[in-house]
A and B are shown apart, each in its own frame.
Chain A
Amino acid sequence: GENVEQHPSTLSVQEGDSAVIKCTYSDSASNYFPWYKQELGKRPQLIIDIRSNVGEKKDQRIAVTLNKTAKHFSLHITETQPEDSAVYFCAARRGAGGTSYGKLTFGQGTILTVHP
């Protein structure tokens, strides 16, 4: 099955710096890669996603890049703010045409701390 590795497990930055979180996946049939943000005591919420036919997607201060050949994708947060502090999860979803279609596999999570 799919295996998603996420690094680093913790990341500490100063306000205004950039933060980068990287994930690798194993299943070449995966074609959808969402990123979730989970604040303390709350549910994970989607912040950005990318599909396999796109190499990069940006939404204000957040961007995601995908390298299908290398099977890795990254989350980039620019001009970080204290409210960006949270746990971030990457995930990969298998595409149609095989078993486990639609199954979402998550990385282990990254605790991001933004210091004022």
Chain B
Amino acid sequence: EAQVTQNPRYLITVTGKKLTVTCSQNMNHEYMSWYRQDPGLGLRQIYYSMNVEVTDKGDVPEGYKVSRKEKRNFPLILESPSPNQTSLYFCASNSGGSGTQYFGPGTRLLVL
């Protein structure tokens, strides 16, 4: 089954404790993205990747890192999480620059 998976689905952590949210897709898509969703602000892009080893900042990259060492994986790293990073995070992938974007199930993060 074609899908985008994320782990963990729920995470509670404390300020400053490094964490990684994994994202994996099995559709051989070149493009992968990370979004955060906050009430009233829609989906804001954090980082995106056009292919292996090619990444670029989205609209709200501060406080986040990403890497794309393999085509199927695109982890999101929070080196020193802060409470303002409490949010719902979605990973997504699509084929090329014009293909349909598929979303993962989401990761709900609470930073205390």
Contacts and interface: CB of A to CB of B under 8 A. Distances in A.
- A and B from one complex: yes
Interface of A: 1, 6, 9, 32, 34, 42-46, 49, 51, 89, 93, 95-96, 100-109
A93 B99 CA distance: 10
A114 to B, nearest CB: 21
Contacts of B31: 102
Interface stretch (B14-22, B42-50, B65-73, B77-85): B42-50
B100 A49 contact: yes
B: interface residue count bin: 20 to 34
Contacts of A95: 97-98
Contact of B103 (A6, A9, A44, A51): A44
Given A44-B90, A102-B31, 15 more contacts: A6-B42, A43-B90, A43-B106, A89-B42, A89-B43, A101-B50, A101-B97, A102-B94, A103-B56, A103-B58, A105-B45, A106-B35, A106-B42, A109-B40, A109-B42
